[in-house]
């Protein structure tokens, strides 16, 4: 039985999380600022006199900040766990962390976070030491190896969602140009939006909503089941077959995997999972949608460019199904049997 325990737990590598460090005591509001090209969700841990509590999720768009703890904060240690939204699929690899604390699928406050109960699951948390700003507050930055500033992070975040939505805005580099503007203008026109909408505080929500609806171009997955679905996509450019996952598709939602270029063939695999990320079974058989083409995957997020000898490389071979893209767009709807 496959388990997807690590597929939606973590998404940010230790090397790619940057914190400004200071020895200042934590006595004011704590703010997290996102300089990544991903919309992230964060959870914090408060370790105080041997009692540890966690709370989450705090969604933070690129180039924005969010207060995650208000007022006097007398903690021995502050810890962080962050993840990118599931729609990104092959987002950054899991971060490391010296502490394992409990989280929950939806918004949560867990008072005793070292012993998980019910639908809580363990996740690695990293200790942080935020810097004190001139106004007395505390701030920590989430950053990628690209070291974007705020303006670059916002543009890279828009580019990334445009690509997922089926528009050619690559490369995702935070640099403006004719290609990015053409893709952005096409997106705005298709949604009946003015150019001013790009500066709206809700623009990332608008883009995410667009990604989660069927599209006339590219590949779209739609989840018509009552279960969460984890999906993977593979592309064959004539030289290399690349498999990539996992993308989380919530019930009633659609999603476009980020397929760039003009691949000669696209493949798809999807599987329904329960609240503990175990494969759903119907009549003793896993509820999945695949085919006869074996390609390499792993339980955590992955991108694999070589498809031979999966098992000897610690990977699992799963049967993918070819997708007919001859009409320019294809929607695969996953439903109960």
Reported as a single tens digit per residue, the pLDDT across 96-128 is 678 999 999 889 999 999 999 988 999 999 998
Residue 207 has pLDDT above 80, yes or no: yes
Residue 3 falls inside a structural domain = no
Report which of residues 93 and 120 the model is more confident about: 120
Shared-domain flag, residues 143 and 98: yes
Residue 171 falls inside a structural domain = yes
Residue 11 has pLDDT above 50, yes or no: no
Task: State the chain's mean pLDDT as an integer.
Answer: 85
Could you say which of 191, 209, 227 is where a domain stops?
Answer: 209
Could you say which of 100, 121, 147 is where a domain stops?
Answer: 147
Residue 328 has pLDDT above 70, yes or no: yes
Report which of residues 286 and 94 the model is more confident about: 286
Q: 329: how many CB neighbours lie within 10 A of its CB?
A: 15
Residue 64 falls inside a structural domain = yes
Shared-domain flag, residues 276 and 200: no
Shared-domain flag, residues 78 and 157: no
Shared-domain flag, residues 200 and 305: no
Shared-domain flag, residues 137 and 159: no
Rounded mean pLDDT of 33-43? 94
Residue 4 falls inside a structural domain = no
In 3D space, the residue among 267, 317, 260, 314 whose CA is nearest the CA of residue 294 turns out to be 317
Shared-domain flag, residues 169 and 294: no
Determine the structural domain holding residue 204 and report its residue range.
Answer: 151-209
Residue 137 falls inside a structural domain = yes
In a 10 Å sphere around its CB, with 0-12 CB exposed, 13-18 middle and 19+ buried, how is residue 65 labelled? Answer: middle
Residue 321 falls inside a structural domain = yes
Rounded mean pLDDT of 41-66? 93
Residue 158 has pLDDT above 90, yes or no: yes
pLDDT of residue 21: 35
Rounded mean pLDDT of 236-260? 88
Residue 243 falls inside a structural domain = yes
pTM: 0.70
pLDDT of residue 90: 60
Shared-domain flag, residues 142 and 45: yes
Shared-domain flag, residues 292 and 188: no
Residue 5 falls inside a structural domain = no
| 22 band by pLDDT with thresholds 50, 70 and 90 | very low
pLDDT of residue 241: 95
Shared-domain flag, residues 216 and 203: no
| 176 band by pLDDT with thresholds 50, 70 and 90 | very high
Shared-domain flag, residues 18 and 141: yes
Shared-domain flag, residues 225 and 140: no
SS3 18: coil
Shared-domain flag, residues 272 and 331: yes
Answer yes or no: are the C-beta atoms of 303 and 328 closer than 8 Å.
Answer: no
Residue 212 has pLDDT above 90, yes or no: no
Could you say which of 209, 232, 259 is where a domain stops?
Answer: 209
Q: What is the number of structural domains in the chain? A: 3
pLDDT of residue 94: 60
Rounded mean pLDDT of 276-305? 92
């Amino acid at each position: 039985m496959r388990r997807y325990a690590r597929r939606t737990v973590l998404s940010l590598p230790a090397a790619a999380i940057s914190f400004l460090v200071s020895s200042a005591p934590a006595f004011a509001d704590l703010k997290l600022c996102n300089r990544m090209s991903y919309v992230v969700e964060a959870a914090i841990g408060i370790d105080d006199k041997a009692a540890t509590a966690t709370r989450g999720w705090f969604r933070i768009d690129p180039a924005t900040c969010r207060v995650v703890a208000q007022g006097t904060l007398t903690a021995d240690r502050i810890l962080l766990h962050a993840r990118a939204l599931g729609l990104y699929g092959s987002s950054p690899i899991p971060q490391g962390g010296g502490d394992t604390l409990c989280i929950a699928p939806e918004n949560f406050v867990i008072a005793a976070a070292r012993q998980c109960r019910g639908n809580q699951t363990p996740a690695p948390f990293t200790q942080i030491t935020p810097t004190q700003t001139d106004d007395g507050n505390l701030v920590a930055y989430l950053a990628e190896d690209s070291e974007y500033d705020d303006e670059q992070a916002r543009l890279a975040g828009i580019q990334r969602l445009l690509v997922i939505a089926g528009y050619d805005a690559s490369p995702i580099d935070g640099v403006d140009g004719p290609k990015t503007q053409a893709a952005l203008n096409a997106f705005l026109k298709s949604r009946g939006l003015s150019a001013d909408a790009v500066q709206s505080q809700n623009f990332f929500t608008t883009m995410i909503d667009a990604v989660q609806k069927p599209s006339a171009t590219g590949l779209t997955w739609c989840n018509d089941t009552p279960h969460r679905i984890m999906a993977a996509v593979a592309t064959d450019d004539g030289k290399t077959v690349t498999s990539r996952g996992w993308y989380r598709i919530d019930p009633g939602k659609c999603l476009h995997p980020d397929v760039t270029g003009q691949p000669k063939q696209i493949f798809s695999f999807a599987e329904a999972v329960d609240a503990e990320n175990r494969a759903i079974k119907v009549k003793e058989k896993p509820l999945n949608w695949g085919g006869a083409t074996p390609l390499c995957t792993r339980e955590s997020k992955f991108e694999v460019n070589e498809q031979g000898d999966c098992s000897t490389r610690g990977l699992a071979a799963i049967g993918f199904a070819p997708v007919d893209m001859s009409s320019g767009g294809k929607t695969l709807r996953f439903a109960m049997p």
